[in-house]
Amino acid sequence: MLVIIAPAKTLDFKPVSKVKEYSLPELIHDAEKLVKILRKMSRKDLASRMNISADLADVNYERFQNWQLPFTPGIAKQAVLAFHGEVYTGLDAASLPNKVLAQAQKRLRILSGLYGVLKPLDLILPYRLEMGTKLSIGKKKDLYEFWGDKITKNIQEAVGQSGSPVLINLASQEYFKSIHIKNPNIEIVNPAFKDMKNGKYKIISIYAKKARGLMTRFILENNILNPNDLQAFDWEGYCFNPRLSKPENPVFTRG
């Protein structure tokens, strides 16, 4: 079973002494091609293309100027420890035992606009590049076309090495759109998390993001290989709701 999650916009590059192990992104040279294009863009162009403020454009302009290979632990950080959004608050990777983090190298992938696919302990440099960014690369009109089937092939190979032919999609729609799996032997499961609001169960983004991280941790800690075992997930008040669920779309509700 392989879990996929999305990256976060916010980053934390404070040093972490606990985890010494690291790996390198498999699609790093494709990332380098993107950086060469982004490095030529002005601050104003970055702000417009990425729909960010002038201050954020300044930050990311400098990031792209300073981005260089090879990556080393002194200047880069493991992806699962560097991302710092709601998903990663729920996952809380820094508190996972090193043994579980090591196993996560086969069980978890992070999708990325810049790096394509990341293993948890892959080193990354600070960046911001969302998959939905309208960035032309040669004849490719955007990042989805740039990555083509490379992300899909990488994910399919990772599923094959994960222990069971199941892909648990805990990524956002923006990132899941980069995958086009047509292999009938791979089962794709899309968990959803809903909270009670105004008398109805609804997906509330900030809570759903954290719940995706919580479920990722639940899968890793319990070494889950069978998607039916996800029904036992009951963290922070969520519970499996059979009435709202389908086999490929288990729904967990709270409130």
pLDDT digits (tens, 9 = 90+) for 150-171: 999 999 999 999 989 999 999 9
CA distance 97 to 10: 24
39 and 211 in contact (C-beta within 8 Å)?
no
| For helices 54-66 and 28-39, angle between their N-to-C axes, nearest 10 degrees | 120
Which pLDDT value is given to residue 138?
86
Closest of 181, 197, 186, 255 to residue 227, by C-alpha: 186
CA dihedral 184, 186, 188, 189 (to 10 degrees): 130
Which pLDDT value is given to residue 17?
67
Q: Which domain holds residue 187?
A: 2-254
pTM of the complete model? 0.96
Burial, 110: exposed, middle or buried (Cβ in 10 Å; 0-12, 13-18, 19+)? buried
Task: Supply the DSSP symbol for 10.
Answer: S
Local mean pLDDT, 10-residue blocks, the chain (255 residues) = 97 84 96 96 94 96 95 91 97 95 96 98 96 90 96 97 95 97 93 96 97 98 96 98 97 96
Domain count, the chain: 1
